[in-house]
């Protein structure tokens, strides 16, 4: 007996209704509306193998409208992935279930990306499509030849990030990217035309996309549209005209189905409409069998691919890169040895460029870029040709003025695997891509943010361009390593740590202005400990100066002044809070002696907000920083203006010591 597309889709609808009802929370409207389109996609187009969810050459599927998470949970279960089980789905949105409110890539092998923040999944998929074309250029069709599919809603398309993603994908002619737009004309507040009058198709046309429309509840029409999209060399937008909550007779077509359970009565009525007779969470065997057959469809292609890989001359390198392992023996030791031999006084953005020179020669998997600040972020090295529509093999992306799009694209590349993306902008514009950085952290992607012009040290551009709260606010973000290196050596160390880390993002805050090389030894990666004693007190220790980045130089001069007065002062360089907090207590206590402030005064110096530094200075320590907005002037004038020069700081420390002593 043949199972119809409609029946297949109704299995998705039934699981959705039941799971949302059981959780008494969730979003039934989207999965029910897009069940037909998703069924056709999985049945006829998507290349996947539930037995090998991480098969490198699988198609990527991203549910950008992540609130409709039951759609993907149902599809993964029905096609035969090991997880989620039916029990997992029964526990939708409960503690411990991998079926979280929104899809989480770390919960289920079949989830390619964490989605929910609208528009970000779509933009992440752009990065996946870039990685695919790049690896195809490097390794050829035999190993890399797949597509990226997206389901996106009106919210994904209305968010600003969509403009950036569409622009980037259109410019790079990512024909392997196909987006199914759930054109249900409903948002949470009501009809889309309450807030938008846009001709979306025309906008996509304007950005070099192929567009096609279909009846999102007519399987044949969907299949036609997907076929056209697959055949077209441009990225495609497939407008699927749907009814939100399709099948719920009294609520469908309204925002009432969007984010609340349908209720027992409506579910009962929907079961009648859909001719779905199985009890809650039960699935007819024939339908399960048909779905499993769909799931089994990709095994042959995967087998063939495995054979091709086994015999491929690039097998080891391809596998290494897809595993995310750095090459055996990768090290920056030689580069650092040169620096020790010939110390350099350069901006840390320039130190980063120098380190990248070595890195990009040693690591073919890096793909750099900048949001239109290449010369300022110092992100491009000689090894890197531009990655363009004509040369996907290039390793440098001109992202344009698209910080958020860049961040999401980096996430997509990292999630795809096989490449290590890094990208630059000014640190103050981390605000523009903050949602992407958070998704890097949550998704545990190795995305590396190169954020230059990291304080008032950038000078004349003024308060709109001067980060004050940014470094600290980024330190608050879970699973993000924020580095603020002090010189060439620390910059290289931080780069090495960022590259070695496989389970999360790193962000480098780098100076515009030149900084002296404060390290004369690179035998150990001291930045790995987050903070370390850069210089020990000579006289009896009364002060510990803690600084990061460009203020380490200042701390050293302050120490000189204090020592000249017989006051012993350690200087602690602290490039990374999260790493220091992860050290053993004994190490922490050695670096920051845990004694009363009346005995040893702790002092922080950082050209940014002081809130937060109480963590290390203790309450009665001193904190030198900036708690208001910056100003426009040459950097040295600003450092004086904000009281961040040794001659202003040292006397205050001496005064505090005197007061404590009295």
Neighbours of 258 (CB within 10 A): 22
Q: Which two tokens stand for residue 224?
A: 């036609």
Nearer to its own copies by Cβ, of 186 and 222: the residue is 186
117 annotated ligand binder: yes
Q: How far apart are CA 417 and CA 131, in angstroms?
A: 8
Q: How far apart are CA 182 and CA 190, in angstroms?
A: 15
321 annotated ligand binder: no
Q: Note whether 617 and 623 are within 8 A (CB).
A: yes
Residue 372 as a binder of its own copies (CB under 8 A): the answer is yes
Annotate 4-15 with DSSP letters as a single string. PHHHHHHHHHHH
Least distance to its own copies, CB of residue 350, Å: 17
Nearer to its own copies by Cβ, of 202 and 310: the residue is 202
Q: Could you give phi then psi for residue 183, rounded to 5 degrees?
A: -85, 75
Least distance to its own copies, CB of residue 66, Å: 7
DSSP alpha helix (H) spans, 117-159:
120-139, 154-158
Least distance to its own copies, CB of residue 337, Å: 33
Residue 276 as a binder of its own copies (CB under 8 A): the answer is no
Residue 161 as a binder of its own copies (CB under 8 A): the answer is yes
Least distance to its own copies, CB of residue 27, Å: 9
Nearer to its own copies by Cβ, of 199 and 331: the residue is 199
Among 279, 329, 478, 661, binds its own copies (CB under 8 A): 478
Three-point CA angle 273, 276, 278, nearest 5°: 150
Residue 557 as a binder of its own copies (CB under 8 A): the answer is no
Residue 641 as a binder of its own copies (CB under 8 A): the answer is yes
- For the segment 202-231, give every residue that binds its own copies (CB under 8 A): 202-203, 205-208
Q: How far apart are CA 34 and CA 242, in angstroms?
A: 7
Q: How far apart are CA 109 and CA 131, in angstroms?
A: 19
Closest CA to 40 of 282, 304, 275, 228: 228
Least distance to its own copies, CB of residue 239, Å: 14
Span near its own copies by CB under 8 A; candidates 11-19, 301-309, 566-574, 636-644:
636-644
Residue 375 as a binder of its own copies (CB under 8 A): the answer is yes
DSSP alpha helix (H) spans, 449-584:
470-475, 488-500, 551-564, 577-581
27 annotated ligand binder: yes
Residue 503 as a binder of its own copies (CB under 8 A): the answer is no
Nearer to its own copies by Cβ, of 142 and 461: the residue is 461
Residue 79 as a binder of its own copies (CB under 8 A): the answer is no
Neighbours of 368 (CB within 10 A): 25
Among 3, 17, 23, 509, binds its own copies (CB under 8 A): 23
Cα-Cα-Cα-Cα dihedral sign, residues 266, 271, 277, 282: negative
Among 84, 167, 175, 418, binds its own copies (CB under 8 A): 167
Neighbours of 614 (CB within 10 A): 14
Map 60-88 to HEC letters. EEEECCHHHHHHHHHHHHHHCCCCCCHHH
Nearer to its own copies by Cβ, of 143 and 244: the residue is 244
- For the segment 605-634, give every residue that binds its own copies (CB under 8 A): 609, 611-612, 614-615, 618-619, 627-629, 631-634
- For the segment 380-399, give every residue that binds its own copies (CB under 8 A): 386, 398-399
Q: Assess whether 493 carries a catalytic annotation.
A: no
Span near its own copies by CB under 8 A; candidates 141-149, 295-303, 305-313, 473-481:
473-481
349 annotated ligand binder: yes
Spell 135-151 as b/e; 16+ CB within 10 A means b: bbebbeebbbebbbbbb
Residue 661 as a binder of its own copies (CB under 8 A): the answer is no
Cα–Cα distances in angstroms (integers) from residue 245 to residues 26, 242, 250, 633, in the given order = 13, 9, 10, 58
Least distance to its own copies, CB of residue 567, Å: 22
Q: Note whether 409 and 130 are within 8 A (CB).
A: yes
Among 6, 25, 85, 652, binds its own copies (CB under 8 A): 25
Residue 475 as a binder of its own copies (CB under 8 A): the answer is yes
Nearer to its own copies by Cβ, of 205 and 306: the residue is 205
Nearer to its own copies by Cβ, of 163 and 519: the residue is 163
Least distance to its own copies, CB of residue 235, Å: 12
Q: Which two tokens stand for residue 641?
A: 């203006």
Least distance to its own copies, CB of residue 586, Å: 18
Interface with its own copies: number of residues (CB under 8 A): 108
- For the segment 120-159, give every residue that binds its own copies (CB under 8 A): 154-155, 158-159
Span near its own copies by CB under 8 A; candidates 320-328, 400-408, 559-567, 644-652:
400-408
Residue 189 as a binder of its own copies (CB under 8 A): the answer is yes
Cα–Cα distances in angstroms (integers) from residue 643 to residues 224, 281, 464, 480, in the given order = 68, 66, 20, 30
Spell 449-468 as b/e; 16+ CB within 10 A means b: bbbbbbbbbbbeeeeebbbb
Residue 413 as a binder of its own copies (CB under 8 A): the answer is no
Residue 232 as a binder of its own copies (CB under 8 A): the answer is no
Q: Note whether 57 and 144 are within 8 A (CB).
A: yes
Q: How far apart are CA 510 and CA 546, in angstroms?
A: 18
Residue 280 as a binder of its own copies (CB under 8 A): the answer is no
Among 222, 638, 644, 653, binds its own copies (CB under 8 A): 638
Residue 361 as a binder of its own copies (CB under 8 A): the answer is no
Residue 479 as a binder of its own copies (CB under 8 A): the answer is yes
Nearer to its own copies by Cβ, of 143 and 157: the residue is 157
DSSP structural state of residue 192: G
Residue with tokens 């030791």: 333
Neighbours of 659 (CB within 10 A): 10
Least distance to its own copies, CB of residue 219, Å: 29
Q: Which two tokens stand for residue 625?
A: 């920083």
Nearer to its own copies by Cβ, of 102 and 217: the residue is 102
184 annotated ligand binder: yes
The active-site residue, picked from 104, 132, 266, 403, is 403
Residues with Cβ within 8 Å of residue 359, at least 6 apart in sequence:
332, 366, 495, 499
Among 93, 210, 302, 542, binds its own copies (CB under 8 A): 93
Residues with Cβ within 8 Å of residue 612, at least 6 apart in sequence:
472, 475, 476
Nearer to its own copies by Cβ, of 245 and 298: the residue is 245
- For the segment 423-442, give every residue that binds its own copies (CB under 8 A): 428-429, 431-432, 434-435, 438-439, 441-442
Q: Note whether 579 and 548 are within 8 A (CB).
A: no
Q: Which residues are annotated as a binding site?
A: 27, 67, 116-118, 154-155, 184, 186, 258, 349, 376, 429, 453, 461, 465, 512
Known catalytic residues are 403
Q: Which residues are annotated as a binding site for Mg(2+)?
A: 154, 184, 186
């Amino acid at each position: 007996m043949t199972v119809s597309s409609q029946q297949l889709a109704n299995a998705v609808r039934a699981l959705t209704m039941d799971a949302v009802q059981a959780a008494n929370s969730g979003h039934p409207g989207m999965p029910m509306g897009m069940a037909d389109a998703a069924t056709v996609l999985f049945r006829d187009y998507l290349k996947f193998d539930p037995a090998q969810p991480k098969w490198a050459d699988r198609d990527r599927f991203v549910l950008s409208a992540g609130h409709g998470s039951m759609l993907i949970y149902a599809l993964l279960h029905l096609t035969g992935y090991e997880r989620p089980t039916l029990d997992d789905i029964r526990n939708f949105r409960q503690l411990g279930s991998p079926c979280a409110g929104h899809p989480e890539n770390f919960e289920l092998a079949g989830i390619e990306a964490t989605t929910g923040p609208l528009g970000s999944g779509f933009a992440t998929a752009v990065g996946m499509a870039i990685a695919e074309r790049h690896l195809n250029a490097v390794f050829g069709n035999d190993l890399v030849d797949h597509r990226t599919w997206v389901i996106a809603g009106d919210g994904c398309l209305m968010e600003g990030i969509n403009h950036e993603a569409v622009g980037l994908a259109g410019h790079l002619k990512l024909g392997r990217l196909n987006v199914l737009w759930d054109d249900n004309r409903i948002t949470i507040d009501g009809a889309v035309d309450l807030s938008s009058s846009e001709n979306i198709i025309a906008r996509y046309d304007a950005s070099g996309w192929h567009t096609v429309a279909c009846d999102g509840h007519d399987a044949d029409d969907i299949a036609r549209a997907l076929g056209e999209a697959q055949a077209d060399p441009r990225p495609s937008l497939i407008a699927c005209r749907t009814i939100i909550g399709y099948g719920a007779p009294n609520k469908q077509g309204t925002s009432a189905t969007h984010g609340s359970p349908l209720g027992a009565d409506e579910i009962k009525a929907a079961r009648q409409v859909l001719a779905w007779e199985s009890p809650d969470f039960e699935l007819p065997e024939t339908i399960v069998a048909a779905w499993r057959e769909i799931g089994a469809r990709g095994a042959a292609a995967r087998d063939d691919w495995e054979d091709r890989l086994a015999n491929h001359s690039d097998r080891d390198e391809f596998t290494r890169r897809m595993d995310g392992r750095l090459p055996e023996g990768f090290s920056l030791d030689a580069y650092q040895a040169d620096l020790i031999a010939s110390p350099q006084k350069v901006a840390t953005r320039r130190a980063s460029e120098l380190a990248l020179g070595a890195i990009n020669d040693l690591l073919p998997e890096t793909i750099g870029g900048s949001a239109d600040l290449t010369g300022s972020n110092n992100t491009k090295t000689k090894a890197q040709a531009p990655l363009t529509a004509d040369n996907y093999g290039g390793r440098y992306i001109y992202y344009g003025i698209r910080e958020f799009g860049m961040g999401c694209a980096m996430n997509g590349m990292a999630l795809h695997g096989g490449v290590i993306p890094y990208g630059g902008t000014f640190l103050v514009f981390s605000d523009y891509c903050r949602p992407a950085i958070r998704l890097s952290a949550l998704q545990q992607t190795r995305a590396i943010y190169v954020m230059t012009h990291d304080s008032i040290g950038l000078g004349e551009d003024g308060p709109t361009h001067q980060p004050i709260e940014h470094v600290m606010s980024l330190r608050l973000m879970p699973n993000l390593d924020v580095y603020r290196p002090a010189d060439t050596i620390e910059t290289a160390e931080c780069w090495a740590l960022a590259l070695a880390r496989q389970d999360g993002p790193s962000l480098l805050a780098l100076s515009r202005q030149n900084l002296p090389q404060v390290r004369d030894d690179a035998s150990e990666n001291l930045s790995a400990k987050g903070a370390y004693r850069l210089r020990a007190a000579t006289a009896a220790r009364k002060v510990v100066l803690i600084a990061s980045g460009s203020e380490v130089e200042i701390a050293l001069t302050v120490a000189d002044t204090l020592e000249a007065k017989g006051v012993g002062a350690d200087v602690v360089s602290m490039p990374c809070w999260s790493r220091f907090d992860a050290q053993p207590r004994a190490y922490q206590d050695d670096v920051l002696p845990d004694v009363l402030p009346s005995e040893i005064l702790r002092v922080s110096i950082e050209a940014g907000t002081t809130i937060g530094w109480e963590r290390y200075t203790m309450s009665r320590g001193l904190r030198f920083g900036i708690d208001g907005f910056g100003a426009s002037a040459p950097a040295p004038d600003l450092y004086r203006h904000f009281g961040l020069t040794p001659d202003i700081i040292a006397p205050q420390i001496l005064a505090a010591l005197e007061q404590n002593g009295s």
